[in-house]
Every structure is written in structure tokens, then in C-alpha cells.
Amino acid sequence: MKLAYSIAKRFLISGKFQTFMIVLGIAIGVSVQVFIGSLISGLQKSLVDKTIGSSSQITIVSASPLSFISDYDEKIATIKSLDQPIDAIAPALEASGSLVKNMIENPVLIRGFDLTAAEEIYGFNEKLLLGGSLPDATGEIVVGIGLRDSLDLSIGDTISFGSETLASTSLEIVGFMDFNVLQLNSLWGIATLETMQGIIGIGNQISKIEMQVSDVFAADEIDFAIMTALNDDSLESQNWKAQNAELLSGLQGQSISSIMIQVFVMISVVLAIASVLAITVMQKSKQIGILKAMGIQDQDASLVFLFEGLILGLFGAVAGVLLGLGLSYAFTTFAVNDLGEPVVPLYIDFGFIALSALIAILASAGAALIPARKSAKLSVIEVIRNA
Amino acid sequence: MPNVIELNQINKIYGEKSKFPTQVLFDINLTFAEGSFSSIIGQSGSGKSTLLNLLGTLDKPSSGVIKINGIETQKMTAKSLSTLRNETIGFIFQFHYLLPEFTAIENVLLPYKISKKPLTDDIIKRAEELLDIVGLTKVKNNLSINMSGGQQQRVAIARSLMNQPKIVLADEPTGNLDSDSTEQIYNLLREINQKLGTTFIIITHDRHIAEKADRIIEIKDGKIFMDVQKNE
């Protein structure tokens, strides 16, 4: 082993330029792998974050549209006690109707929350415009900027809310929010749970339990586990995966294409290493012949090339990871939008990078198997007679 | 003295399966006694290098039996043949065949390293002594590629003696050397032969050199044409 390693090392050092070029070849392959992988997973994460990052991913509602969920604290406690990756859980009670000011009427969906719990899902504080505050007391409301514009509202205004089934109630505007979605801006109002319970007059009941999970792609499985644990026929659940089939298939398509790209990059790297190492065996056949004449075992003669593959793979992988990270850094620094934010945020997953490096090393060693076999089979007499 | 090598009815045909096979050796019978110093002469193409390759187990005969240390080499596995070459046989090739990536002393040490025995100070000292004997102490750390042909040949001689083999097979070992160096090398080989009892079989085309050996075997057209034992 030691002998084969020292011969491999010496062969590589003696052909510095060739060694450098091979390492560079592997490094470029690995760096493309790291960069594309980080880019695509970053793209995916940002897409997921933008589309479902600030909304409920699993929602539990009453099975009958006219009834509400009672004893919700107990149910939330049951869900929290489950060993599931649930990041946030919040009760909600909503009602639709109209907001009226100066005879102008605008449809609205007022969502009542336990605002501390809902903050983790919706990030209301970030969306609140300067000067306003979140609803704190009963009768306070925050509305979207669309509603503000169409009803010409300002902080401190009192407006009335009502619907066909709900009596008219006066609410005080305490702030405005930009939800970053046009439709929500002109439809949503946010109030406390108590405000809504008062308006609807149902006591301590809610209409929804909303949740976010850390592994969004497992939302359906978590959903199933929760419903099994609750074991309550009066409840129904919805998860984002069931509701966004198209988005999901888009994301899956992206994942698959990312894997395809990576597989092809890997194949080309493996082929390149295999062919270069095969040429090296030809170049070094005289040396291998001499070593065999001196009694080196076939196995050790093979090991020389396996070690060459391993060493090249190791250096190539390390250089490739550095190059890939450098490329990613350059991309996030120079490819930015008007706000100075990266066009596509990269997601650096060290597990993935380590895996790419490991694959490159194993692929290099694997690619060296062919030349290693060739080396073992090399006949001394052929080398000596053809010298 | 017992025989260290025995050749019995050796034939060698190249391209046996081709349309035009060429027979290079015909029914060769030879024995070499332990500690003997023999030379093989013959014109180029006479089959002497082929014979040496067979003696060194680098090639296999088409028919016949070769015994080294009393063991039939055809019956040995590739692995035990490698071990035999490493421990029992030292080669000095016509084109010296050093590893250009290694220094002179590293080349000398290679046969020992191949044996995978632990490298001790005594072993390094032996390698240095061998380089001293062939007059290369000053250039021992030079890469072999940076040495002259004569120097390389002398490194190859030192290398062949590294594992203190029982047999040294040499193919025109002084082919690239001037007459003074040639004389020196032969005296050196003779000295080792007498001191350590190493068996030497040397191919040469130079009759003058051949005559320094105890036994001269002349090969002609693949057959033994002459086999003369000199009396001391």
C-alpha cells in the first residue's frame, strides 16, 4: 500500500502540468455541481418561501361549514405534543362582510388571530407600515393598503363592518399592512381573536387552526399524523400540497432537472478522469513493466493507479468546492437586483457540498479502476520487447 | 555445486497462433551451477535475449521445463513468480530501465521496497554502499533522468544487487559504457560473484568480455552452438 502510494505520488508530481490539468478538470466539474446545486436549491427555497412561506401550510377547519371549533386550546396542545416538525401553530377566526365609510362599501375578510402565535406564520410586524400598530384591544383593526386607498382611510378612523348575517360593528383603524399580494391588500383586515369572537358572537370558539412546518414537502404526512392523533370526525384538514398541485409538480420538475444536470456533470467528469488515467497507464507502461520485472505484485501495480485516482479526486474535490463556493459568492455579490439583493438567492447546503465532493472522490477512484486493471494485466515482456 | 537453474527441452515460438509463427529457440538444454559466472554470446536475433527473459521468468516457453531452485516455474502462480523475481533474481537490462521519476538511491532501494520489508538504516546503508561501489555516491540524490547513460547503467547494476539475489541476469550490461568503465564493471561483478557466491549470467556481443567469464555459451539460430567451460 505504502509503496503503491509513494509511486503514485511520485508519478503525479513528476508530471506536474498534467496533474494540474486533471485536478482542474475535476475541480471544474465539482464546482459546477456545487454551484448549480446551490442555485437550484436556493431557487426552490425562495420560491417555496415566497409562495407558501407566509401562509398556513396545514389548516384544520370544521367539517361542517356552519359550525366552529370549540375547545381549541386542548386540540392545539394535542398537536404540539406530537413528535412532528411543526414550527408555528395559531388559532384563527374569520368573517367576511363589508367595510363602510362615507357611504362607500368595500368587501373585506377580517381575520382574527392570536397575534403572538400568528406572527410566526405571517410575520405581521414586518408587513405593518410605519406609524401603525398591531391590533391590541377589542375593536381595533389593521387593513391592507388596497383597502386604505379605496376607502381613503387613515389611522384613528372609525369604520363600520357588517354583513347579511352579522350586525354592524364599529372598528378603529390602528394601522395598515402591505401583504405584498394585490388581492390580499384589497381584501384582508387583521384583528384579535377576541374582536372576531365578539362580532360573530360565538364565545370562545374559532374557525381554523393554522400551522407551518419545517419540512414543507412532508406537509401531507404531517397532516395525516395530526388528523390521526386528533381523531375527531367534526374536523377536516387541508394542506398546501393538496391545494397547490401545479406548484408542487413545478418544484418536483425543478428538483429532477437539477439531479439530471448533476448526474450528467458527474458522468462527464468520470469519463474525463477515466480517459486521462488510461493514457497515464500507457505513458507509465515502461515503469510498470520495470516494477513488475523487479517483482511488484499485480495488485500493487493496480493500486498505483487507484491511488492516483484517489489523490486526483481528493485535490479536485477540494479545489472544486472552493471554486464552487467562490463562484456562488461572486454570483450573489455581482448578480444583484436594484435593491442590491441577489437575483437568485443561493442556498449553501454543506451536506450537499460534502456529498458532491465525496461523489467526485469516489468517481475518480472508480474511474481509475479501468486503468488499474490494465496495469495489473500489463505483460512485462511486451514492455521490454517494445522498448 | 548444485544447479540453480535448469532448462530442459526449451522451445520458444512467437506468434504461435498467427499465420506465420517464428521459432526463436530450439530444444535448449542448459544448467547453471550456483555461484557460476557465465556469458552468453551470439549475433543479434540469435535468441539470446529471449533465453534471458525465459531464465528471468519474464516470459514463458512454448514447451519445455524451466526449474529455478529446483522448482518448475510454469507451475508457479503469478504472485509467487513475482516474489521469486524480487527475492532471487536481479535484472540488469540493456536499456538500464530506471524509473525516471525517482532518484538514483530511490531506484536502488526499489527492489527492497517492493519486498515490503521494513526499511531500516542498515538497508539504506547497503544501498549507499552499492552506489559507492559503482562510483555514484556524489550523484545519489539526482533524478535518474538527469544522469548520463553510463551513470544510469551503473545505478541499474547497483539496483540488481540490492536484494542480494542468488542470480543476476544481465543483458549487455556494459553496452553503453566505454572500455575502461566496462573493465571496471566486470571486475565489480566478478568480485560480487566471488564474495557472495551470486550466479551471474551475462549476455554480451563482445567476445573479449565473454572470455572473462568461466563459461561461454554461444547461441546461433536459436540453438546452442558452443558451450565451453574454462578451466581455472
CB-nearest to A3 from B98, B114, B159 is B114
Q: Considering chain A, what percentage of its residues have pLDDT values greater than 70?
A: 99
**Chain A residues with at least one Cβ partner in B under 8 Å:** 3, 6, 10-11, 13-14, 286-287, 289-298, 300, 380-381, 384, 387
The arithmetic mean of pLDDT across residues A235-250, rounded, is 85
Chain A, nearest residue to B56 by Cα: A293
User: Considering only A156-165, A363-372, B22-31, which range has the smallest mean pLDDT?
Assistant: A363-372
List the single residue in A with minimal CA-CA distance to B163.
Answer: A294
Q: Helix-strand-coil percent breakdown of chain A, rounded to 5?
A: 60, 20, 25
- In this predicted structure, the answer to whether residue B178 has a pLDDT above a threshold of 80 is no
Task: Report the pLDDT value the prediction gives residue A387, as an integer from 0 to 100.
Answer: 58
- CB atoms closer than 10 angstroms to residue B203: 24
The better pLDDT of the pair A365, B105 is held by B105
Q: What is the reported pLDDT for A3?
A: 86
* ipTM of the shown complex: 0.88
pLDDT the model gives residue A314: 92
pLDDT digits (tens, 9 = 90+) for A161-189: 988 888 888 899 999 998 888 888 999 99
Using CB atoms within 10 Å of the CB of residue B226, give its burial: 0 to 12 exposed, 13 to 18 middle, 19+ buried. exposed
Q: Which sequence spans correspond to the domains of chain B? A: 3-229
pLDDT in tens, B4-26: 899 999 999 988 888 888 899 99
Domain B3-229 in CATH 3.30.930.10? The answer is no
Cell of A301: 501495480
pLDDT digits (tens, 9 = 90+) for A197-208: 988 888 888 999
Q: Taking 90 as the threshold, does the pLDDT of residue A319 lie above it?
A: yes
Higher pLDDT, A274 or A267: A267
Contact A112, A196 (CB under 8 A): yes
- Whether A82 shows a pLDDT value over 90: the answer reads no
In total, the C-beta contacts within 8 angstroms joining chain A to chain B are 65
With cut-offs at 50, 70 and 90, classify the pLDDT of residue A375: confident
CA distances to A49, A179, A187, B127, B199 from A55, rounded to whole Å, are 9, 11, 15, 78, 90
Tell me what pLDDT residue B125 has: 93
Q: Per the confidence metrics, is the pTM higher than 0.80?
A: no
% chain B with pLDDT above 90:
33
Q: With cut-offs at 50, 70 and 90, classify the pLDDT of residue B232.
A: low
Residue of A nearest to B102 (CA): A10
Of A52-66, B52-66, B152-166, least confident by mean pLDDT is A52-66
Contact predicate B198/B165, CB 8 Å = yes
For an interface test with B, which of A1, A10, A294 has the most B Cβ atoms less than 10 Å from its Cβ? A294
Residue B231 has pLDDT above 70, yes or no: no
Q: State how far the Cα of A108 lies from the Cα of A162, in Å rounded to an integer.
A: 10
- The CA-atom distances, in angstroms, between A320 and each of A109, A258, B225 are 53, 18, 66
Closest CA to A7 of B160, B130, B156, B113: B113
Residues from chain A contacting residue B156 (CB–CB below 8 Å): none
CB-closest option in B58, B99, B110 to A384: B58
Q: What is the pLDDT of residue B168?
A: 93
Position A174 scores a pLDDT of 92
> What percentage of chain A has pLDDT greater than the value 90?
14
Question: What is the mean predicted confidence (pLDDT) over B161-171?
Answer: 91
Q: Please determine, for residue B37, whether its predicted confidence score (pLDDT) is greater than 90.
A: yes
Q: What residues in B contact A10, CB-CB < 8 Å?
A: 101-102
The residue ranking higher by pLDDT, A336 or A92, is A92
Mean pLDDT (chain B) is 88
Can you give the pLDDT at residue B16?
82
- Cβ contact, residue pair B85, A295, below 8 Å: yes
Contacts of A287 in chain B (CB under 8 A): 99-101
Residue with cell 446551490: A38
Are the C-beta atoms of A305 and A371 separated by less than 8 Å? Answer: yes
- Is the model more confident about B192 or about B167? B167
- Give the per-residue pLDDT at A2: 83
